[in-house]
A = this chain, B = another copy of it.
Amino acid sequence: MEPGDETRNADRIAITRLLHRYCAMLDTMELELVGELFTDDCLVVYGPVERMQASGAAQLAGSLRRLWRFERTSHHLSNVELDFDGPDAARGRSYVLAWHQQPDGASRTLYAEYDDRFVRTPAGWRIAERRQLTHGSDIPWDLPLAAAERRPAPEE
């Protein structure tokens, strides 16, 4: 942290770049990049069942191969909020709009948020823990995802 840089802009830029590179990695399917984005012992949870969770970068890269079932994807990241827990740790919340094209040409879009924990390693910032919380999708998803909480409507 540079003197006078209480907003920690260099760290914000580096962590936001991680978030964007994850999206680009999925959209190009260059899954060997997982090791540059996640810690070796990362925990990534997309859904409540074991096959929707990954422990470690190697297992994560393997599980993301499920995205080959789509012709194309486009992961649009926004609403990035970062908070620091000391010089080498941070938490983040961001939104993703994930467009997918099926082999039959039809579109399927997922609306979700990433709840992340980041750590600074000797090689730079990495995602240590990611939980995807889903807001919904335009057609029901074909895999079991974890839902974000929404307060139920009050009794009238």
Contacts and interface: CB of A to CB of B under 8 A. Distances in A.
Interface of A: 2-7, 9-10, 12-13, 17, 20, 23-24, 27-30, 68, 71-81, 93, 95, 97, 99, 101, 105, 107, 109, 111-112, 135-136, 138, 140, 148-151, 153
A81 B23 contact: no
Nearest to A26: B150
Given A20-B79, A74-B95, A97-B99, 10 more contacts: A20-B80, A20-B81, A28-B150, A28-B151, A71-B136, A74-B97, A74-B135, A74-B136, A75-B79, A99-B135
A81 B79 CA distance: 14
B10 A10 contact: no
Contact of A28 (B95, B99, B149): B149
11 contacts: A6-B10, A20-B80, A20-B81, A28-B148, A71-B136, A72-B136, A74-B111, A97-B97, A99-B111, A107-B136, A107-B138
Interface of A is mostly: mixed
B81 A27 contact: no
**Copy number of this protein in the oligomer?**
3
A10 B7 CA distance: 6
A76 B7 contact: no
A81 B151 contact: no
A98 to B, nearest CB: 10
